[in-house]
Structure 1
Amino acid sequence: MFLAAVGFWNFLGAGVFGFLVNLPIVSYYEMGTGLTANHAHGAMMGVYGMLAVGFAVFALRYFIPENAWSDRWPRLAFWSLNLGLAWMSFATLLPSGALQLYKVVESGYADARSLGYLQGDTNVFLEWLRLPGDVVFIAGGVLPLLWMTWLGVRHRAGRTRQPEDAELSLLFTEVGPGTTRADGEEEVVAP
């Protein structure tokens, strides 16, 4: 699921939002405004963040024993991270970036980056509107991932077992004095 999210955010965050900020005439006016932050959140967390989380869940699946693993935690993390990121992008960063771009075109870049504009009622409201998306992202996405990581570290630290059928396992092959090779000959290892 996380790898599917990488494709979605690669299209939207890096593609569409990146296209919005990289058009030459738009880039001249908007560099450093809210549209840049919108593109950065969608591209960085949406693409590379989801990729990293997907790989982490893949690895944690092998660290956490079957009886302690639950598909509920990664599913909750997936939906919460994606919904929180979408909320951040569409409810706050995209509207504030578009309004700031309009202010740049209307009054100039310096005015749109001034404290008077950034602390204006509309901008402050849009910044506070981001809070629900952040809460969903952190509480529903980050905390379950931290829980799974803790489970993985806890179970991995105490596990020193060998697979049930070590001779047939290609992942766990012991090589040392007295080890028998596949052809039946004894392996001699120099000290």
Structure 2
Amino acid sequence: MLGIGLMLFVLRSLYRDVKWNDKLIKVGFWGLNIGLLGMALLSLLPVGIWQAIESIGKGMWYARSAELMQQPGMVFLKWMRTPGDVVFAIGVFAIAWFVFDLTLKNKKQ
């Protein structure tokens, strides 16, 4: 996120006379942030809590084992990362399209 912010800061000074498409930047910003939140809350946090509980109860060897990771509930939680990934990808494509569009507008002038 810091790198994207730096990139936009530099692009603002490079393309001062070009009209920016703020809608793409908004979609990119919200897509990236909501996607990361979705990944964290729907998958990474529940899997981590489950592994922590198993690690405390049975040891770290079991919490990292294929036996635990292949249980149906764990497989479901791993697949629950997909909605966040999709929203994140939409944000990535919006930022990429914005940069592509900005450079095309500069070449036309």
TM-score by length of 1: 0.52
| Residue 101 of structure 1 pairs with residue 52 of structure 2 | yes
| Residue 58 of structure 1 pairs with residue 5 of structure 2 | no
Aligned 8 A contact 2:28 2:95 in 1: yes
Aligned mates of 1:121, 1:53 — CA distance in 2: 37
Aligned residue type for 2:75? V
| Counterpart pick for 2:38 among 77, 87, 91 | 87
- Corresponding position of 1:123: 74
Once the two structures are superposed, residues 32-60 of structure 1 have per-residue CA deviations (whole angstroms, 9 ceiling, x without a partner) of xxxxxxxxxxxxxxxxxx11111222233
Gaps of 5+ in 2: none
Once the two structures are superposed, residues 10-67 of structure 1 have per-residue CA deviations (whole angstroms, 9 ceiling, x without a partner) of xxxxxxxxxxxxxxxxxxxxxxxxxxxxxxxxxxxxxxxx11111222233343711x
Structure number, greater radius of gyration: 1
Once the two structures are superposed, residues 120-160 of structure 1 have per-residue CA deviations (whole angstroms, 9 ceiling, x without a partner) of 11111011111110000002x1001110121233344x37x
Question: Higher relative CO (CA 8 A, sep ≥ 6), structure 1 or 2?
Answer: 2
| Counterpart pick for 2:103 among 123, 148, 153 | 153
TM-score by length of 2: 0.87
Number of aligned residue pairs: give it. Answer: 107
Greater helix percent: which structure?
2
- Corresponding position of 1:30: none
Deviation at 1:80, TM superposition (A): 0.8
Deviation at 1:113, TM superposition (A): 0.8
Aligned mates of 2:80, 2:47 — CA distance in 1: 11
| Residue 112 of structure 1 pairs with residue 84 of structure 2 | no
Q: Identity percentage over the alignment?
A: 36
Which secondary structure does the structure 2 equivalent of 1:127 belong to? helix
